[in-house]
Amino acid sequence: MTTVETKPVTVDEYKFFPEPTDGTRLELIRGEVVPMCLSNWEHGEIQLAVGSAIKVFLKSNPIGRVVVESGVITEQNPDTLRGPRVSFMSKDRKPLGVRMDKFADHTPDLCVEILSESNTRRQLNEKIKEYF
């Protein structure tokens, strides 16, 4: 039996992957494109509540910016690109007036993940290590 070696996918190559038509999210983990399950309704409500609370705080305290499910490069060679459910980046790291029209090249000041029944302890510990 022979195995076929595939070269790891880079972040630059990942950008050109077609978006799945079923709404599945794709993350890049050490050069491999991995599908992520869709979130349930409760998960989405929690994500919206956390992101909205931070956004409201930032209106009165413009110390940074908040996004949801936006790409963050956590490792390189092979590349890993995660999409934390909610991320906060201080203006010291990314000035407020500067467009962020690419994936963040370093982890945000705050990454929020929302636990799902499908998450394993190993997966969560792996993400925590990457974010730190």
pLDDT in tens, 8-57: 999 999 988 888 888 788 889 999 998 887 788 999 999 999 999 999 99
What is the side-by-side strand order in the sheet with 64-68? 64-68, 86-90, 110-112
Question: Which amino acid is it at 53?
Answer: A
Mean pLDDT in residue range 50-77: 95
Indicate the CATH number for domain 25-131. 3.90.1570.10
Rounded to an integer, the average pLDDT of 82-107 is: 90
Single pTM value for the model: 0.83
- Pairing type for strands 86-90 and 110-112 reads antiparallel
Question: Where do the domains of the chain lie?
Answer: 25-131
H/E element, 123: helix 121-131
Residues listed for the chain: 132
